[in-house]
């Protein structure tokens, strides 16, 4: 099913899929009226962008490692170990960050969202929480 993507959700570095070609496209520049994509890519007939569904298969390509801890199973970012992702419900992931100030080192749920469904949402949340870009190790079209 086609889901139209709101261009206002995008920031530089975000990935989305062109509905016509199926190509994965990276945003390289934004201004008030224009979105510029990576070299050689263009949308064939207007705004046909759709979000890329966040899946457990994609998480390792985004730098996440599968972990099992005393509170269950989750993905931890390989360079930002305080940033965690876990399956919340079908088609949705929970996002969290461990609180460094916590004496008992328990998981801090103040940074949690229960509705992260797309790669660009995870990229945006990762940046908002860590102030670092979430780079994709491997991007394949199709």
Domain boundaries, the chain: 7-50, 59-130
Cβ 10 vs Cβ 123: under 8 Å: no
What is the spatial distance between Cα 95 and Cα 37, in angstroms, rounded to a whole number? 27
Cβ 116 vs Cβ 125: under 8 Å: yes
Short-list 101, 98, 70, CA closest to 83: 98
What pLDDT is stored for residue 101 in this prediction? Answer: 55
What pLDDT is stored for residue 61 in this prediction? Answer: 93
Cβ 95 vs Cβ 85: under 8 Å: yes
What pLDDT is stored for residue 142 in this prediction? Answer: 47
What pLDDT is stored for residue 40 in this prediction? Answer: 59
What pLDDT is stored for residue 59 in this prediction? Answer: 93
pLDDT tens by residue, the chain, 142 residues: 567 788 888 899 999 888 878 888 888 888 777 777 876 565 555 667 899 999 999 999 999 999 987 767 889 888 887 788 888 766 678 777 766 555 555 555 454 555 788 999 999 988 888 888 988 876 555 4
């Amino acid at each position: 099913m086609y889901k139209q993507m709101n261009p206002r959700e995008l920031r530089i570095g975000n990935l989305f899929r062109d509905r016509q070609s199926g190509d994965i496209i990276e945003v390289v520049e934004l201004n008030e009226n224009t979105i510029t994509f990576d070299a050689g890519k263009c949308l064939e007939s207007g705004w046909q962008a759709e979000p890329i569904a966040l899946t457990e298969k994609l998480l390792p390509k985004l730098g996440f490692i599968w972990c099992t801890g005393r509170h269950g199973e989750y993905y931890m970012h390989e360079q930002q170990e305080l940033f965690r992702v876990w399956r919340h419900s079908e088609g949705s992931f929970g996002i969290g960050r461990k609180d460094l100030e916590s004496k008992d080192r328990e998981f801090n749920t103040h940074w949690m969202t229960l509705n992260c469904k797309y790669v660009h949402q995870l990229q945006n949340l990762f940046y908002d929480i860590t102030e670092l870009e979430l780079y994709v190790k491997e991007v394949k079209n199709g």
